[in-house]
């Protein structure tokens, strides 16, 4: 028979997968001889079994629980329901990965009408006994029976009113005894049965409740955010209670071996005397600093310090611990590697290396890539955020699409945002979705909030590129542009109202929250240098302007992997020429319009080449369908007609004829250059002329990389490549200069991956466009999938957003297939990724393992990608 | 050095690839000792070389041409430009596959101002000589120099006016001599140089022109229609001229060894005395029946009959021959397997088997699948069609999307078409595109013409299912529904005007053309029985109604491979309940609406099961996005609101919230059942209840096959399958009956193919939805691709429409991968295809070779698929 339950003495710290983090560490501390209240752990396997078997515990599991309970009773000399020495236990979740606060916990289990009296007598403290009992009823009713805690709080409030007191602590033993009666009566009224008196029944129900809580909404959300598979399950820890609330020689607290905010090497934490754990968190009384314990109880403080040292040495990382003092005796209830701020993570890593505890590689593995990200963006003031959350100002949420924090007056159009920003307001922009015309408005905003679209929607991609915060796809947002207002979860806001939102969590607040600007310390540079030393994957950036390019170089980009030329087409002074080209009916007309764009486009490239200081630059030719450049309302069309000297009907006809049912699968990418080779000609001319000019001025040797998008068939590429080659030849002849350039393609259509051996005959490099490849491989529109993906998460069909984290099984298979086929044809073909996945750590790891040469991501993601690439290579070194 | 030119005596009939059909057959006839004017063939390789080398002839090719010319001069004793015995030649194209009339031909080459006089003297027939010369100038100017023939015709007309005559034949030798002068003057005026007098120069220019004509527009179109790769190239035949127009002992004609219209075993053909080939075709004089030759020249007739027998025996097929009689001597100019009508094809096949010439397998291989198709649909009267084409009534063309011919009064809405059809008019429906609401209007129409969409557009798919003719994606069609008119290539039509269009060619006519109803003969059954005997692939049908199902059974369908349940949702009496479901905000509301649909849906399935008489039925669950069922104009929305007892705003909000940017990649397929499991519940209930009812009534044992669409991840399928299984269990319990049913999935998303091993764990069968798989593999929207695919054909990037003929390289690779992976997991997994490709012969062959179990196609395509499956298995027998 499988072993489903382990006494703490039977486990150890390596058994994290089976016992969960908490269980393994309790066992380990126990093995180290530290003072740990005894108990047992029900394994994570039982959780999986529980779900597989229709949410019940099998008889063999129950049997092992009962036998472990018997052992615990023997160890402690206490017994469930005993009228001399009753056993009370806590029942806590504990998954393999820490999921703080996501699952449920029950304390004081074992209390009933008789035991409470025994406890009152044994402790000579009836107030303590009844306070513990009422807490237990409340917690059990909430966690196990789904009766909201708040409804009990109401009964307490009524009692306090009656008694004319303000604080819970002002209620005396009799009051609490009365409260227990009221609680039980309420329970019976709601549930139709008495509150369970049998401790064993209480225990079994509590265990089931903890397993159930593995699948509550916030746990599912947390797992998705942190890439924790639902198959891992949680363990359940049953531990005999020790009490910090039995009197003034009792207390409880939490502490870190180093300062989790700064990383400074000194004990950090707080505690409360005569309190149970939840009081510390609840904030009714102000806890003392852990340092004060030195005075209050020097012996315990000394012992605790020693334990801290043992644990930090033993686990070789900064520890986060919970402890309780019961009648002057110290008990350790938990230890784990401590969560830390980004700055602390760097400081600790550097200190640990200096202290000889970690190698540089080990230190790199300890830093979370998300920390790097946080360092580069404004964040909400932590205390204020905590308060606003507690006060329920988080009235809606969307997808955390671009990191950072935004607070400002909300405006619904780019024009208004620009006007108000110029007038000195801090603004945020709120839209159904954004389009390329909104870019300038987005640039002046603190952040972007949209109702539609996912993590690779226009809003998300552009915001990330700008380093701006974005919350996208908020289903609870309704935008009423016409009336200048919007609603969030039913609450109406007018333009100019202040809102805040958090690009790290997706939460939206109906109030102002102070933001803190990022500060980059010297530690950042040290860590980034380490990362560069140990990574194999190169990191490029997606940048469309000299400004973005310069930013990316500052962040360590080694080149541009994706320069989207269409972004240049939208600028106010060019869009007219672009539209002129689109409405032209003849090649000559289009060429005339393109001739106007040429000098501007050439200037763009010159600027970008200069910003990149000779580093490689991959330029993607025009990609979006042409209708994206045209106006869509009758009013705008009329205006355009006037500007163009055409009739409204002519413009309308062009717009209508360009309309597409599925633009994602429409007339775009290389298909544009096949219909209108003159566009590719103009772009080639701009690329080559700019390179020649800058090479001449700077004495550099720029080798431009021209990238043809949306190729699915080698003949498409061959056609466009021929246009490029012919034009380049002409330009070089005109200029009397020969330069080298490369022509390659995006691999973003399944057929390109499937026929990559053929395509490599024409392509000198591949860049995986994993955004579009994800769309086509799944048949998911990134603009529409937001709606139904929520249902997929709820049903556990997906645990991750495939647009945020590359789908290794399907899309990944195509990537690996294409890499293999491409190299079969062209051994030295250069392989990169320029989809949004290039900035996601787990995807970076996948691309490293798939043997690609580089990833390319938005400038603000470059440092994160450098770290992730180093971690991938340390975990799985490339030969 | 490669051999680029072959004398006829050096070739033979097996060298078709190198010498083209005409060249190989001329060589073969020459070898057989038949009277063939000597000559030589420039190989198809030279054509490819010509294009690869930038449309020039290399020196080595030229050298071989000159040396072959010298040999020909020796053989014939004639010389180019000779003033005693001048050599005149014809220069003709001849590809591997017959492409009648698509490429260019030049006769009488070698004539110049001197030679014409020699010929006049030699033949003692100046009229003949100058007539030949003026024809040569005309043909050369047209074919080689691009001077339209018509401009010369105008000069002839002027001459005839001047002379007061009506027929060309009334012009005498002097007139023609004058005409030659005028022609040459016109040539010089247009081209700035004299008409070339050097026969060798004439020859080289003519050869280049023939190679050029391989890539003219109509040749490209013909190749695409007939699946002839452009890489094949054409050969050029240079043959010494014989003349049928030298006097009354001369003549020319064409003949078939059997009647090409009926297949009857008797010589069929026509000839004209004192004429050149083009006169027979031009129809100025009425030719005589070949039988009349028996009287006019018994010796030649006897010889010709003997040659016919030799050729039919030798080639073992009905022959189509050209001959010329020069001064009483018979010359064979060409022989080839004769084109024949569908009925003739069957008759000839059966006769050849009876005559012991062919085995049944050989006979099946000789029948073109398209013939079978033609037998099932109305066609235009051949003579009338020829006339209308000649008169230029074909004013526009679109994609030949569903076979047949349609002629009727044109209406722009389904409502009007229905009303007018009920009033007894023959109608055709003309629309921008069709939608499911148009189905009834389409059903009463002779045919459907649309401006948008391709061969798998809604219009095309539905029309094919109905056996109706459809021309889709006509770029020259502008529909102005508001004003009740439309334009075709600029010509305006009002509703009620008669047009005709041809679903086999895509041509649209501005006039009425008589249609001929199809007749199915006993021969059809004989051939279909042979096909069934020799095929391995099963053939099912795509049918959504009992009527379609019954039709398909009549045509030999062995089951239903695709029953699209959404079509049932659109019927007038159901759409309200469907809309009620969509606008409901609660599960209960949706369930109440679905309960109304259930009895109707169950009735549908009962009807279909009965029509299929116990054959397997695969039912696909609801597939399209829900917004397809909602109205889109404000007016209709207001009406719906009224009907539903909701406000306009509520309906509008639902419509807006369901809007998608890319519906093809949106909330559809299994995604619907994941969000709204109650839809799958209702559909399962209808499927299972109907099967139980019909089984009981008929004592059958129907095993319904439930097919879940758009699966990309096995967990999607597992989720929906669980809903199906739970519901089926409940239904069977209620009914007290256990029945077997299968649950499978469409493979129509690349990720499904890539992870087919996983998906097969849940799926009991796969059906390849190659329409959607083509869309996603290429990232082509079938509704939008029509526009840019034209450019792809023009640039030879594609030679075929991937929606009509399965892309074997990309999409095919996914099909093979999925079949292999699926069978690895589930050895006996049933594999079929239900995309439109199931009715395309070359695709059927591919699916046979890929080892699938069945194809499923629209009822009218079933016989064609049966034949194609037999041909595939004869060509590559399955073990």
Give ipTM to 2 decimals.
0.84
Q: Which tens digits make up the pLDDT trace of A394-408?
A: 999 988 888 889 999
User: Which residues lie below 8 Å from residue A613, measured CB to CB, with a gap of 6+?
Assistant: A553
What pLDDT shows up at residue A219? 84
Q: Are the beta carbons of B240 and B37 closer than 8 angstroms?
A: yes
Do B811 and A713 lie within an 8 Å CB cutoff?
no
Is B779 close to A749, i.e. CB distance below 8 A?
yes
Task: Say if residue B182's pLDDT is above 60.
Answer: yes
| pLDDT at position B284 | 59
Across the range A13-20, mean pLDDT stands at: 94
The predicted structure's pLDDT at residue B226? 75
Q: How far apart are the CA of B744 and the nearest CA of chain A, in angstroms?
A: 18
Tell me the average pLDDT across B852-876.
Answer: 96
- So what's the pLDDT on residue B235? 96
Question: Which of B754, B797, B810 lies nearest to residue A715, judging by beta carbons?
Answer: B797
pLDDT at A849: 97
Any A CB within 8 A of B662 CB: yes
Mean pLDDT of the region B516-523: 83
8 A C-beta contact, residue A146 and residue A160: no
Quick check: B457 and B472 in contact, CB under 8 A? yes
- Which residues in B lie closer than 8 A to residue A450 (C-beta atoms)? none
Give the pLDDT confidence score for residue B462 in this predicted structure.
81
pLDDT score of B382: 84
Instruction: Return the exposure string of B858-874: e unless at least 16 CB atoms fall within 10 Å of the residue's CB, then b.
Output: bbbbbbbbbbbbbbbbb
Chain B partners within 8 Å of A778 (Cβ): 712-713, 749, 751
Which chain A residues have a beta carbon less than 8 Å from that of B665?
662, 664-665, 775, 779-781, 784-785
Contact B339, B515 (CB under 8 A): no
The number of angstroms, rounded, from the C-alpha of B601 to the middle of its chain's C-alpha atoms is 36
Lowest mean pLDDT among A31-35, A173-177, A767-771, B651-655: B651-655
Spell out a b/e string for B502-519, using b for 16 or more CB atoms within 10 Å of the CB, else e. Answer: bbbbbbbbbebbebeeee
**Set of chain B residues whose Cβ sits within 8 Å of the Cβ of A754:** 777, 809-810, 813-814
pLDDT average, residue stretch B802-806: 92
The predicted model gives A445-470 an average pLDDT of: 83
Q: What is the mean pLDDT of residues A819-846?
A: 95
pLDDT for A844? 97
Q: Do A797 and B715 touch (CB under 8 A)?
A: yes
Q: How confident is the model at residue B82, as a pLDDT? A: 93
Q: Do B661 and A784 touch (CB under 8 A)?
A: yes
Q: Are A316 and A254 in contact (CB under 8 A)?
A: no
Give contacts of A 736-765 with B, CB under 8 A: 748-751, 754-755, 758
Q: Cβ contact (<8 Å) for B814 and A750?
A: yes
Q: How confident is the model at residue A283 (pLDDT cuts 50, 70, 90)?
A: low
Is 90 exceeded by the pLDDT of residue B585? no
Q: CA dist B17 to B45, B46, B233, B334, B340, Å?
A: 9, 12, 9, 17, 23
**Among A257-271, A321-335, A463-477, B326-340, which stretch is predicted with the lowest mean pLDDT?**
A463-477
Q: What is the pLDDT of residue B281?
A: 59
Are A754 and B813 an interchain contact pair (Cβ–Cβ within 8 Å)?
A: yes
If you average pLDDT over every residue of chain A, what do you get? Answer: 92
Interval B536-570: pLDDT, tens: 999 999 999 999 999 999 999 999 999 999 878 88
Least confident residue range of A357-366, B355-364, B640-649, B724-733: B640-649
Q: Where are the beta strands (DSSP E) in B704-784?
A: 705-708, 742-747, 765-768
Q: How confident is the model at residue B454 (pLDDT cuts 50, 70, 90)?
A: confident
CA distance B482 to chain A (A): 15
Q: Which residues of A are catalytic?
A: 458, 834
Query: Do the chains contact at B811 and A751, CB–CB below 8 Å?
Result: yes
Q: Is the pLDDT of residue B448 over 90?
A: yes
Instruction: With CA atoms as reference, report the closest residue to B490 among B474, B506, B503.
Output: B474
Instruction: Return the residue matching tokens 């679109």.
Output: B398
Res A434: pLDDT: 85
- Counting residues of chain B whose pLDDT is more than 70, the rounded percentage is 99
Query: Which residues contact residue B809 at a Cβ distance below 8 angstroms, ignoring those fewer than 6 apart?
Result: A754, A755, A758
Q: What local confidence, expressed as pLDDT, does residue A572 receive?
A: 76
Query: Is the distance from CB of A91 to CB of A68 less than 8 angstroms?
Result: no
pLDDT tens, position by position, B741-761: 999 999 999 999 999 999 999
Q: State both tokens at A385.
A: 């955020």
Confidence of residue B97 (pLDDT cuts 50, 70, 90): confident
- Residue A789 to residue B661: CA distance in whole angstroms: 16
Report, as an integer, the average pLDDT of A234-250. Answer: 91
| A776 in reach of chain B (CB within 8 A) | yes
Query: Which DSSP category does B624 fall into?
Result: S
**Percent of chain A scoring above 90 in pLDDT:** 71
pLDDT score for B148: 84
B675 in contact with chain A, both atoms CB, cutoff 8 A? yes
Helices marked H in A535-644 — which ranges? 546-554, 566-569, 572-583, 587-612, 634-644
**Residue of B454, B656, B676, B750 to mutate, testing the A interface (most A Cβ within 10 Å of its Cβ):** B750
CA dist., res. B667 & res. B658, Å (int): 9
Judged against a pLDDT cut of 60, whether residue A214 lies above it is answered with: yes
Q: How confident is the model at residue A35 (pLDDT cuts 50, 70, 90)?
A: very high
Residue A809 distance to chain B (closest CA, Å): 8
Mutate to test the interface with B, among A712, A714, A784, A787 (most CBs of B within 10 A): A784
The Cα-based distances of A476 to A407, A488, A538, A789 in angstroms read 19, 6, 40, 15
Query: Is-contact A276 A154, C-beta < 8 A?
Result: no
pLDDT at A332 over 70: yes
A779 touches B: beta carbon within 8 Å: yes
- pLDDT(A281) > 80: no
In this prediction, residue B373 has a pLDDT band, given cuts at 50, 70 and 90, of confident
Q: What is the pLDDT of residues A700-721, one digit of tens each?
A: 999 999 999 999 999 999 999 9
Mutate to test the interface with B, among A746, A754, A756, A793 (most CBs of B within 10 A): A754
What are the pLDDT digits (tens) for B102-152? 778 899 999 999 999 999 998 888 998 999 999 999 999 998 998 888 889
pLDDT band at B204 (very low <50, low <70, confident <90, very high): very high
The verdict on whether B308 is a catalytic residue reads no
CB of B507 closer than 8 Å to CB of B394? yes
Binary contact (A751, B791; C-beta < 8 A): no
Residue B584 has pLDDT above 80, yes or no: yes
Beta-carbon pairs below 8 A across chains A and B = 170
Q: Which chain A residue lies closest to B653 (C-alpha atoms)? A: A478
Per-residue pLDDT at A230 exceeds 80:
yes
Q: What is the arithmetic mean of pLDDT over A196-206? A: 96
Nearest-CB residue to A666 (from B674, B758, B781): B781
Average pLDDT over chain B reads 92
pLDDT digits (tens, 9 = 90+) for B266-288: 999 889 998 877 676 555 577 88
Q: Is B664 on the interface with A (CB under 8 A)?
A: yes
A811 touches chain B (CB under 8 A): yes
């Amino acid at each position: 028979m499988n072993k489903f339950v382990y006494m703490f003495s039977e486990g150890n710290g390596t058994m994290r997968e089976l016992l969960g983090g908490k269980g393994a560490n309790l066992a380990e501390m126990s093995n180290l001889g530290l003072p740990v209240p005894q108990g047992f752990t029900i394994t994570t396997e039982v959780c999986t079994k529980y779900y597989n078997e229709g949410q019940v515990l099998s008889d063999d599991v129950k049997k092992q629980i009962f036998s472990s309970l018997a052992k615990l009773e023997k160890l402690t000399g206490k017994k469930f329901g005993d009228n001399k020495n009753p056993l009370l236990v806590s029942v806590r979740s504990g998954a393999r990965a820490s999921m703080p606060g996501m699952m449920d916990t029950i304390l004081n289990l074992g209390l009933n009408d008789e035991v409470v009296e025994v406890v009152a007598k044994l402790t000579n403290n009836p107030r303590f006994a009844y306070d513990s009992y009422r807490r237990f009823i409340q917690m059990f009713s909430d966690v196990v029976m789904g009766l909201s805690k708040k409804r009990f709080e109401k009964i307490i409030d009524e009692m306090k009113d009656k008694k004319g007191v303000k604080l819970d602590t002002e209620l005396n033993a009799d009051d609490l005894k009365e409260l227990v009666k009221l609680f039980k009566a309420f329970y019976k009224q709601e549930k139709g049965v008495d509150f369970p008196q049998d401790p064993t029944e209480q225990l079994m129900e509590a265990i089931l409740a903890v397993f159930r809580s593995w699948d509550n909404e916030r746990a599912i959300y947390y797992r998705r955010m942190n890439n924790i598979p639902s198959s891992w399950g949680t363990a359940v820890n049953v531990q005999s209670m020790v009490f910090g609330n039995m009197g003034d020689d009792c207390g409880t607290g939490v502490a870190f071996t180093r300062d989790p905010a700064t990383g400074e090497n000194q004990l950090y934490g707080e505690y409360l005397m005569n309190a149970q754990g939840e009081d510390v968190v609840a904030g009714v009384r102000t806890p003392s600093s852990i340092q004060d314990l030195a005075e209050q109880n020097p012996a315990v403080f000394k012992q605790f310090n020693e334990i801290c040292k043992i644990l930090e040495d033993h686990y070789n990382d900064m520890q986060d611990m919970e402890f309780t003092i019961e009648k002057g005796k110290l008990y350790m209830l938990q230890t784990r590697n401590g969560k830390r701020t980004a700055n602390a993570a760097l400081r600790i890593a550097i200190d640990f290396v200096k202290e000889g505890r970690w190698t540089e590689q080990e230190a790199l593995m300890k830093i979370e890539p998300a920390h790097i990200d946080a360092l580069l963006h404004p964040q909400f003031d932590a205390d204020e955020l905590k308060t606003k959350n507690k006060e329920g100002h988080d009235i809606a949420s969307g997808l955390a699409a671009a990191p950072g924090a935004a607070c400002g007056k909300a405006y619904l159009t780019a024009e208004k945002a620009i006007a108000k920003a110029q007038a000195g307001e801090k603004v945020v922009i709120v839209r159904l979705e954004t389009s390329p015309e909104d870019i300038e408005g987005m640039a002046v905003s603190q952040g972007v909030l949209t109702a539609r679209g996912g993590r690779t929607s226009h809003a998300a991609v552009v915001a990330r590129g700008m380093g701006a915060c974005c919350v996208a796809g908020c289903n609870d947002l309704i935008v009423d542009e016409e009336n200048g207002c919007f609603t969030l979860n039913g609450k109406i806001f007018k333009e100019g109202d202040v809102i805040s939102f958090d690009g790290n969590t997706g939460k939206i607040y109906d109030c102002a929250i102070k933001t803190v600007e990022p500060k980059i310390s010297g530690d950042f540079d040290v860590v980034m240098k380490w990362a560069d030393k140990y990574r194999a994957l190169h990191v490029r950036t997606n940048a469309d302007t000299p400004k973005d390019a310069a930013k990316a170089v500052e962040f360590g980009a080694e080149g541009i992997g994706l320069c989207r030329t269409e972004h240049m087409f939208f600028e106010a002074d060019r869009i007219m020429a672009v539209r002129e080209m689109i409405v032209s009916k003849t090649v000559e007309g289009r060429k005339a319009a393109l001739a106007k764009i040429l000098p501007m486009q050439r200037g763009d490239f010159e600027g970008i080449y200069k910003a990149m200081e000779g580093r490689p630059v991959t330029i993607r030719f025009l990609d979006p369908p042409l209708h994206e450049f045209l106006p869509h309302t009758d009013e705008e069309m009329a205006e355009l007609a006037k500007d163009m000297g055409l009739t409204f009907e002519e413009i309308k006809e062009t717009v209508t004829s360009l309309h597409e049912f599925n633009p994602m699968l429409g007339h775009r990418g290389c298909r544009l250059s096949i219909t209108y080779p003159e566009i590719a000609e103009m772009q080639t001319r701009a690329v080559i002329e700019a390179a020649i000019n800058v090479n001449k001025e700077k004495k550099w040797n720029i080798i431009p990389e021209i990238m043809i998008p949306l190729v699915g068939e080698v003949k498409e590429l061959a056609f466009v490549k021929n246009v490029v080659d012919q034009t380049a030849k002409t330009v070089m002849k005109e200029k009397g200069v020969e330069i080298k350039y490369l022509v390659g393609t995006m691999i973003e259509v399944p057929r390109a991956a499937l026929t990559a051996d053929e395509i490599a005959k024409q392509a000198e490099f591949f860049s995986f466009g994993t955004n579009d490849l994800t769309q086509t491989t799944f048949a998911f529109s990134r603009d529409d999938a937001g709606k139904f993906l929520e249902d997929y998460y709820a049903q556990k069909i997906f645990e991750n957003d495939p647009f945020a984290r590359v789908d290794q099984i399907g899309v990944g298979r195509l990537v690996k297939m294409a890499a293999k086929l491409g190299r079969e044809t062209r051994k030295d073909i250069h392989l990169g990724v320029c989809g949004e996945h290039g900035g996601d750590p787990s995807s970076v790891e996948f691309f490293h393992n798939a043997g690609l040469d580089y990833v390319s991501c938005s400038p603000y993601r470059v440092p994160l990608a450098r770290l992730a690439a180093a971690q991938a290579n340390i975990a799985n070194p490339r030969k």
